[in-house]
A and B are shown apart, each in its own frame.
Chain A
Amino acid sequence: MLAHIIRRILLLIPTLLGISIIIFFMMHITPGDPAELLLGERATEKALEALREHLGLNEPLHVQYGMFLKRLLRGDLGETIWTRQKVWIEVKQRFPATIELSIAAMIISTFLGIILGIVSATRQYSVFDYLSMLGALVGVSMPIFWLGLVLMLIFSLNLGWFPMSGRLSVGIELDTITNFYLLDALLTKNWAALKDALWHIALPAFTLSTIPMAIVARMTRSSMLEVLRQDYIKTAKAKGLSPGIVVLKHALRNALIPVITVIGLMFGILMAGAILTETIFAWPGVGKWLYDAVLQRDYMVIQGGTLFVAAIFVMINLVVDILYAVINPKISVH
């Protein structure tokens, strides 16, 4: 097991290198002067020359890549074009907002998805089963940016139940410690801020949760159906245990193993969905920040932000993989 984990961690290195190579070369296959791309069209010739010198743009490509990698290893992602701030600092400011939103979406989708899946499996071919599986299919077929707008139209604009955008209302004070607003509000026992933050996160989190929820529901249902056919379930039922206990204690435990991998892989879907959801609800996270950078053609942010998100994504996948091997002893680790 330990050997497997170490091997997987070592395999991370070539993947991360590959990501950096792709991002580096994307900059260079685009027509035009990279220095001008990075500094924007209004940059002076002097600034351009200074940046070329700094990034080694006058050197051959492999030397440039070496320099790029060296800066990365020092944790230097460069400076943004518009705010002239370290990209790293901007990422750090925005990342908690994205993670907070993703975790909220994940909790909603896992919880509701598993419940829907269990009920559908125990009532296979019932009206509920058909409706929830059709709902799941509609859920994965829906453009989430559109769903977000529709929810906003109904629940914010027409009913006024939820705020339209942002993480906190103007005028609500909150001392930020971790930048996870919900956590900060809990830590400082600031109940007004907690309620406000929950109100703000509800719509975007629900929007983001629909696709994963549909996937989890379908996965739980099919894996539950398979487990319910097993002999040990029949034995448990024959012993006279109540159906509820059989489902929840005996079946669910085994049925959840494949579901866990899906939940882990959901982070990719959530990260991708976050770009759209954050843009619609003006949620100040990494997704909206990257999108704004694309619109403003801030290539330093695009480069650094993408690298950061991809690296996090790869590492989450690794953790899921290892956890999966730990949970499921049937998986051969060799």
Chain B
Amino acid sequence: MITSLTRRQQPKIPEDRHPFLDQLEQLWRNKTAVAGMIVITLFVLTGLLAPVLSPHDPVDASLYDQLKPPIWEEGGRSSNLLGTDDLGRDILSRLIYGARVSLLVALATVGIGFIFGSLLGAIAGYYKGFLDNIIMRFMDILLAFPHILLAIVIMAYLGPGLRNAMIAIGIIYIPRYARIVRASVLEEHEKDYVTASKAVGSRDWRIIFVSIFPNCLAPLIVQTSLSFASAILDAAALGFLGLGAQPPTPEWGAMIAMGRSHILRAWWVMTFPGIAILLAVLGFNLFGDGLRDALDPRLRD
């Protein structure tokens, strides 16, 4: 009886939980983030499983099936649920393959921005002084161009095409990553664990990438989700302007541009790709917002 009493009175030892688990729980409780996650999962799955999901070949033109309306409109039919475009291609299939193109573009552009931006930012923040000045001034200059204008100008020189669009958009994302990483590295640089790491003789790159970098991840992850959103928008804008993906690639922006000339006769050709872009971008924005709340309480709005 005595033992049971003492056992009951024993103070509960706080669990030794990794902060990451807390953050994950926070994220899970955040409705915005979960909603975003669902949309993103659907988007990624659609892109990955495009050949399985799409009922038709996305580039298969059929002259007899031009501008057929979606199934619920008069004249619509079950073989083309969302109708066909002016070359008789199935819009639903093109949208599904378009998810794949958007996913690819977003991965490539954010990858370029992330890798080069983080590298430059880490170098600037760690070595400070002259290198920092040169790198950050250059970043400021890139930021001096209004966002998509720089991408359009780069495209003017590189020539149109999906690959060049990825390069152009990737370049405009470098400064934002450089700024975030530089700020975090500057902050972490003063901490004891970095001094300790230096004292045991670690090489600079080891200190930067093994010791410091993992501690800068929170703002980077948030930025990455938001960058995915804007990368999809920017790629679609370039595609719409005829500078990005070239026909017959099923790209959402280019599909809107095609639908523009049939806007009165066939509203569906330009409407559905726009909704697809909106949903995908909304997913990443929702998730980014939720992530920010969960990972970085200081940034909460």
A contact set with B: CB distance below 8 Å: 14-15, 18-19, 22-23, 26-27, 29-30, 137-138, 140-143, 145-147, 149-150, 152-153, 157, 218, 221-222, 267-269, 271-272, 275-276, 279, 290-291, 293-295, 297, 299, 302, 306, 309-310, 313-314, 317
Asked if A157 and B264 make an inter-chain contact with CB atoms under 8 angstroms apart, the answer reads: yes
Q: Does B146 contact A (CB under 8 A)?
A: yes
Instruction: Please indicate which of the listed interface residues B145, B233, B271 has the most CB atoms of chain A within 10 Å of its own CB.
Output: B145
Asked if A143 and B256 make an inter-chain contact with CB atoms under 8 angstroms apart, the answer reads: yes
Asked if A137 and B256 make an inter-chain contact with CB atoms under 8 angstroms apart, the answer reads: no
Which B residues touch A149, using CB under 8 A? Answer: 256, 260, 263, 270, 274
Q: Which one of B142, B149, B274, B289 contacts A143 once the chains associate, using CB atoms below 8 Å?
A: B274
Q: Which one of A18, A26, A30, A147 contacts B138 once the chains associate, using CB atoms below 8 Å?
A: A18
Q: A interface, by DSSP: helix, strand, loop or mixed?
A: helix
Shortest C-beta distance, A13 to chain B (Å), equals: 12
Q: Does B218 contact A (CB under 8 A)?
A: no
Asked if B152 and A294 make an inter-chain contact with CB atoms under 8 angstroms apart, the answer reads: yes
Which A residues touch B270, using CB under 8 A? Answer: 146, 149
Which B residues touch A23, using CB under 8 A? Answer: 153
Q: Once the chains are docked, how many angstroms separate the CA of A306 from the CA of B153?
A: 8
Q: Once the chains are docked, how many angstroms separate the CA of A222 from the CA of B289?
A: 13
Q: Once the chains are docked, how many angstroms separate the CA of A309 from the CA of B153?
A: 12
B11-19, B43-51, B67-75, B240-248 - the one binding chain A: B240-248
Closest-by-CB residue of A relative to B157 is: A30
Q: Once the chains are docked, how many angstroms separate the CA of A331 from the CA of B61?
A: 61
Which A residues touch B241, using CB under 8 A? Answer: 275-276, 279, 291, 294
Shortest C-beta distance, B136 to chain A (Å), equals: 11
Asked if B263 and A272 make an inter-chain contact with CB atoms under 8 angstroms apart, the answer reads: no
Closest-by-CB residue of A relative to B260 is: A149
Asked if B147 and A268 make an inter-chain contact with CB atoms under 8 angstroms apart, the answer reads: yes
B contact set with A: CB distance below 8 Å: 137-138, 140-142, 144-149, 152-158, 229, 233, 236-237, 240-243, 253, 256, 260, 263-264, 267, 270-271, 273-274, 277-278, 281-282, 285-286, 289, 301
Instruction: Please indicate which of the listed interface residues B137, B142, B146 has the most CB atoms of chain A within 10 Å of its own CB.
Output: B146
Shortest C-beta distance, A211 to chain B (Å), equals: 10
Given A18-B138, A149-B256, A275-B149: A141 in contact with B274 (beta carbons within 8 A): no
Q: Once the chains are docked, how many angstroms separate the CA of A291 from the CA of B152?
A: 8
Closest-by-CB residue of B relative to A30 is: B157
20 interchain pairs, CB-CB under 8 A: A15-B144, A18-B140, A18-B144, A22-B141, A137-B286, A138-B282, A142-B277, A143-B236, A143-B240, A143-B253, A145-B237, A149-B274, A275-B149, A276-B148, A294-B243, A310-B144, A310-B146, A310-B149, A313-B144, A314-B144
Q: Once the chains are docked, how many angstroms separate the CA of A314 from the CA of B137?
A: 13
Which A residues touch B274, using CB under 8 A? Answer: 142-143, 146-147, 149-150
A-B pairs, top 5 by smallest CB distance, nearest first, are: A146-B274, A18-B141, A222-B301, A271-B146, A141-B281
Which A residues touch B138, using CB under 8 A? Answer: 18
Asked if B157 and A27 make an inter-chain contact with CB atoms under 8 angstroms apart, the answer reads: yes
Which A residues touch B153, using CB under 8 A? Answer: 23, 26, 294, 302, 306
Q: Once the chains are docked, how many angstroms separate the CA of A19 from the CA of B278?
A: 33
Shortest C-beta distance, B172 to chain A (Å), equals: 10
Q: Once the chains are docked, how many angstroms separate the CA of A147 from the CA of B270?
A: 11
Shortest C-beta distance, B255 to chain A (Å), equals: 10
Shortest C-beta distance, A334 to chain B (Å), equals: 18
Shortest C-beta distance, A230 to chain B (Å), equals: 17
Asked if B145 and A313 make an inter-chain contact with CB atoms under 8 angstroms apart, the answer reads: yes
Asked if A310 and B285 make an inter-chain contact with CB atoms under 8 angstroms apart, the answer reads: no
Shortest C-beta distance, A325 to chain B (Å), equals: 18
Closest-by-CB residue of A relative to B273 is: A146
Which A residues touch B233, using CB under 8 A? Answer: 141, 143
Q: Once the chains are docked, how many angstroms separate the CA of A317 from the CA of B240?
A: 29
Given A143-B278, A146-B256: A153 in contact with B263 (beta carbons within 8 A): yes
Which B residues touch A143, using CB under 8 A? Answer: 233, 236-237, 240, 253, 256, 274, 277-278, 281
Asked if B278 and A269 make an inter-chain contact with CB atoms under 8 angstroms apart, the answer reads: no
Which A residues touch B263, using CB under 8 A? Answer: 149, 152-153, 157
A137-B286, A150-B274 are known contacts; what are 17 more A-B pairs with Cβ within 8 Å? A15-B141, A143-B233, A143-B236, A145-B237, A145-B256, A146-B274, A157-B263, A269-B146, A271-B149, A272-B146, A272-B149, A276-B148, A294-B153, A295-B242, A309-B145, A309-B149, A310-B149
Q: Which one of A221, A268, A279, A297 contacts B146 once the chains associate, using CB atoms below 8 Å?
A: A268
